[in-house]
């Protein structure tokens, strides 16, 4: 019995050191060495300040910015509370929220079809992308707020539209934070609209 207990304790100690300390350190070190930007969350810096991550959505509400998808993660885009609403498609709360979001979006585009990603949250609630159709839907509002031609805003959307990964995975998408940062660089908002 004593020998079995000693073997079990030694096995637990060595496997804890090997798989709980050495292996994570080796994987973390390799990630930092070979994939430094990815391992650190693909942070975006501007003027020495971190303004966000390429991987996590943010809430934009000013008319001069492209708006992200709705988020059900905590108070919105809270990585500590990543999740969808888990409401069934027939849930009244979900239906009412979508109706309210659609009514708000219709103020800029009466009777226009609204891209589904602008009224539905992603499963994580942290999606940093919208569809090209979702971006196109917002072009007129953003151009009007910034006082620039719609063609200039469309050109920025086209520049930030990413294709399918490896040519066949996923759908074309636009990273909202990167697009909005590029908008601020190329067509700054007038001071009174910030």
Supply the pLDDT for residue 176: 95
Residue scoring higher pLDDT (111 or 63): 63
pLDDT of residue 109: 81
What pLDDT does residue 194 have?
Answer: 57
Torsion sign, CA atoms 18, 22, 28, 30: negative
- Inform me whether the pLDDT recorded for 5 exceeds 60: yes
Q: What pLDDT was estimated at residue 191?
A: 61
Summarize the chain as % helix, strand, coil (round to 5): 50, 10, 40
Residue 193 banded pLDDT, cuts 50, 70, 90: low
> Rounded CA gap, 109 and 36, in Å?
43
Residue 157, pLDDT > 90, answer yes
């Amino acid at each position: 019995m004593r020998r079995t207990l000693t073997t079990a304790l030694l096995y637990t100690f060595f496997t804890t050191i090997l798989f709980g300390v050495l292996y994570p350190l080796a994987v973390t070190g390799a990630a930092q060495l070979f994939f430094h930007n990815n391992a650190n969350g693909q942070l975006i810096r501007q003027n020495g300040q971190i303004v966000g991550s390429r991987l996590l959505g943010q809430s934009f509400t000013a008319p001069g910015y492209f708006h992200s998808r709705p988020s059900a993660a905590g108070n919105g885009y809270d990585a500590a509370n990543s999740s969808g609403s888990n409401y069934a498609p027939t849930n009244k709360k979900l239906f009412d929220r979508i109706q309210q979001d659609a009514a708000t979006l219709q103020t800029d585009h009466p009777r226009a079809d609204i891209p589904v990603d602008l009224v539905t949250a992603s499963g994580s609630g942290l999606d940093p992308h919208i569809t090209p159709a979702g971006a196109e839907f917002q072009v007129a509002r953003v151009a009007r707020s910034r006082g620039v031609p719609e063609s200039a805003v469309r050109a920025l959307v086209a520049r930030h539209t990413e294709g399918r990964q490896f040519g066949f995975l996923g759908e074309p998408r636009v990273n909202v934070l990167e697009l909005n940062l590029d908008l601020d660089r190329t067509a700054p908002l007038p001071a009174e609209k910030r």
